């Protein structure tokens, strides 16, 4: 009977949100932050501020998802609230880098952690292999997909709690202090803080994950906002505690990224070596690699729903259309293929930066969309849905924070920012080509 399941429960949907968020970011962000600041109070403020910004966005997405419970996330919201072209470009980004790049980065990190213990195994082959394995499991049916996700997400949370509990008993290094210093206030409002938010935002990305699979969520008007808010709040608490443990357990120079290659170090492994010993650290390194499977799986679940929704809305090839209740197997395979291509090209830091810049633009537009939704809702009597907590202040906080963040990011990293803008521009060109093709087909059929 269970194998006929056609939707995701609240627990599975919340697990997807948590798994989408807890991935590569938490194990690489700190290393980049330490290049800019070694003030521990500033770093803690970074993670708290990043979490609160994500939570403000989560409140808004909860209202949008509850009011418009259709798969597709920003693609669906922006198409409905603004114009189909804006939604299309958002979907284009999700299809090309939005999910594929984080899948690639998580797979690279998985390969690095396993390779660290078993050097004879190739990092790239491990990364490609795990993408293919997760793609297979999420292409069978909802029951297997949900069970796979729940198991690995539970495993992930248990490991993090284990790390936090044991870390709290580890004697902190002598110089450790999370109290504000004379430089804390200045650094909190500096360009460096904004740049560090790139890495924090990447670590928190995924708080809107369940919005992408709304059509496949059981009772979406209730479960969608609950999954987003519960998932985001849980991850904020875990992130702040976990980063405190990392800073307390290992010297800064061992956590900081390699300044020659700009590649991140295995922070989880480094911290585990200090808290436990080398043998246990090796075991934990493998476990961390395994729990990244949950992150990859959650993105393999959510991303293809955008691709499939776009295919259904723009049926250039009608045979590719699919029911909302069916697993989008072709879209899953397409996204995984793109992820493997990204994995084999580009540098970690650059991929992370231009992906974050591009996706932040459309998250910003989506949150602004709640004001448009409220205006439209006054004109039509709709079924009661979740309303944004703290409206209008929470969306305004999200908007102001992200505009400030994007401005500083463009100033400090113009090359990567221009790559993101270039991808957006290409998306508009693709939209025009698709629309031209559809009009041509319509004229031929008359």
Question: What pLDDT does 364 receive?
Answer: 94
| Of the listed ranges 57-71, 227-241, 243-257, the one predicted with least confidence | 57-71
| pLDDT over threshold 80, residue 234 | yes
How high does pLDDT run on average in the chain? 82
pLDDT band at 1, cuts 50/70/90?
A: very low
pLDDT band at 53, cuts 50/70/90?
A: very high
Distances (CA, A) of 355 to 26, 272, 304, 417: 16, 30, 17, 9
| pLDDT over threshold 60, residue 323 | no
Residue-wise pLDDT tens digits, 144-185: 666 766 777 787 788 888 888 888 887 766 667 788 888 888
φ/ψ of residue 217, rounded to 5: -95, 135
Reading the block at residue 196, the tokens are 């560090």
Residue-wise pLDDT tens digits, 362-376: 999 999 999 998 888
Architecture of domain 2-445 in this structure: Up-down Bundle (1.20)
The dihedral through the CA atoms of 163, 169, 174, 175 has a sign that is positive
| Backbone φ/ψ region at 7: left (φ over 0), alpha (ψ -120 to 50), beta | beta
Q: Alpha-carbon distance 265 to 399, whole Å?
A: 33
Question: What pLDDT does 396 receive?
Answer: 95
């Amino acid at each position: 009977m269970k194998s006929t399941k056609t939707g995701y429960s609240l627990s599975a949907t919340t697990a997807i949100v948590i798994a989408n968020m807890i991935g590569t970011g938490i194990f690489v962000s700190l290393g980049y932050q330490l290049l800019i600041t070694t003030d521990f109070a500033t770093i803690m403020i970074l993670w708290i501020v990043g979490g609160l910004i994500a939570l403000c966005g989560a409140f808004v997405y909860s209202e949008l998802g509850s009011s418009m419970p259709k798969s597709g996330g920003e693609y669906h919201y922006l198409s409905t609230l603004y114009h189909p072209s804006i939604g299309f470009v958002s979907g284009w980004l999700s299809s090309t880098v939005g999910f594929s790049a984080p899948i690639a980065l998580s797979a690279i990190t998985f390969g690095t952690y396993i390779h660290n213990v078993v050097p004879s195994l190739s990092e790239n082959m491990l990364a490609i292999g795990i993408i293919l394995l997760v793609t297979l499991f999420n292409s069978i049916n909802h029951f297997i997909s949900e069970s796979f996700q729940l198991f690995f997400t539970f495993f992930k949370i248990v490991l993090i709690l284990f790390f936090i509990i044991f870390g709290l008993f580890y004697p902190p290094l002598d110089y450790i202090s999370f109290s504000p210093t004379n430089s804390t206030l200045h650094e909190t409002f500096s360009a460096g803080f904004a740049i560090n938010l790139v890495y924090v935002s990447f670590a928190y990305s995924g708080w809107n994950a369940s919005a992408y699979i709304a059509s496949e969520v059981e009772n979406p008007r209730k479960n969608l906002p609950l999954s987003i808010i519960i998932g985001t709040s849980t991850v904020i608490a875990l992130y702040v505690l976990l980063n405190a443990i990392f800073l307390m357990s290992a010297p800064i120079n061992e956590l900081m990224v390699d300044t020659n290659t700009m590649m991140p170090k295995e922070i989880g492994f480094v911290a585990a070596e200090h808290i436990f010993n080398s043998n246990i650290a090796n075991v934990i390194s493998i476990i961390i690699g395994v729990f990244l499977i949950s992150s990859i799986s959650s993105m393999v679940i959510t991303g293809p729903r955008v691709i499939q929704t776009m295919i259904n809305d723009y049926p250039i090839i009608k045979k590719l259309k699919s029911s909302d209740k069916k697993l989008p197997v072709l879209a899953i395979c397409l996204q995984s293929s793109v992820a493997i291509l990204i994995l084999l090209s580009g540098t970690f830091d650059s991929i992370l930066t231009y992906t974050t810049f591009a996706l932040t633009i459309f998250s910003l537009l989506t949150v602004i969309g709640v004001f448009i939704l409220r205006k439209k809702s006054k004109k039509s009597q709709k079924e009661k849905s979740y309303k944004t907590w703290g409206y209008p202040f929470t969306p305004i906080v999200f908007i102001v924070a992200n505009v400030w963040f994007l401005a500083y990011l463009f100033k400090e990293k113009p090359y990567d920012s221009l790559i993101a803008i270039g991808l957006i521009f290409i998306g508009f060109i693709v939209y025009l080509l698709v629309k031209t093709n559809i009009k041509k087909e319509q004229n031929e059929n008359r």
